Amino acid sequence: MKKTLLVAVFALIGSAAMAQSGSGFGIKAGLSYNKNGDLISSVAEGGQDIVEGAEGKAGYHFGFWGKLDFPKIYLRPELVYSKTKSSYDVEGSSQDYDISKLDLPVLLGYKLIGPLHVFAGPAFQYTLKNDLEGLEVEDVKNDFTVGLNAGVGVNLGKLGLDVRYERGFSKNEAEIIDIPDGRVDSRPSQVIFALSLKL
């Protein structure tokens, strides 16, 4: 009886996983917890930099994905609109730093067992807008940057759930006009939770 039940459970998990396996495309959306790089100003004695670390805040994303499936691996490019937010203490008050961007992760995945898989790959990022609440901020130094996505996911029928970490490779600073020698690092460092649907 126990063996029959165990076989039935594994068959059910396997058939659910197969529904999102195979090549195809779909939509995705989710939430993130983001923390940008430091806010830096040179107003201390002796010209020393004052460095203020970011406080992370929630953001969101939505977009599309495609998938080329092979026996044990898959290739999955995505096109995603992302809105991230961090907070900085500027002269005693909390200021939100918002960034809107287009992300194009190109992920290589490996199927572990049943519906479970791991993935990693470069994320090509194009910054659309950056805004530091209450202060005038220039555009970021580089509109186009590259980062890394890595994570783990599970497929349940046509639904997929994954959690990933995203990190920008290099600093991408924007000047703050209202602060002497002020600049803020727009490089993302975030944990992303996503729900995907195969169409």
How do the pLDDT tens digits run along the chain, 199 residues long?
Answer: 555 444 443 444 443 344 456 789 999 999 999 887 777 776 555 555 566 677 788 999 999 999 999 989 999 999 999 998 888 877 777 888 888 999 999 999 999 998 999 999 999 999 888 888 777 777 778 889 999 999 999 999 899 999 999 998 877 777 887 777 777 878 888 999 999 999 9
Domain residue extents for the chain: 2-198
The structure's pTM equals 0.79
Tens of pLDDT, residues 10-36: 444 443 344 456 789 999 999 999 887
pLDDT of residue 11: 43
Q: How many helices (DSSP H) and strands (DSSP E) are in the chain?
A: 1, 12
pLDDT of residue 5: 43
- Residue 104 in contact with residue 79, Cβ under 8 Å? yes
Which CATH number applies to 2-198?
2.40.160.20
Task: Give me the sign of the Cα torsion angle 118, 123, 129, 134.
Answer: positive
Tens of pLDDT, residues 33-61: 988 777 777 655 555 556 667 778 899 99
- Residue 69 in contact with residue 120, Cβ under 8 Å? no
pLDDT of residue 21: 63
pLDDT of residue 121: 97
pLDDT of residue 36: 79
Nearest-angstrom CA–CA distance, 57 and 91: 20
DSSP per-residue string spanning 34-60 = E----EEE--SGGGPPEEEPPEEEEEE
Q: Are strands 24-34 and 55-69 parallel, antiparallel or unpaired?
A: antiparallel
- Residue 60 in contact with residue 30, Cβ under 8 Å? yes
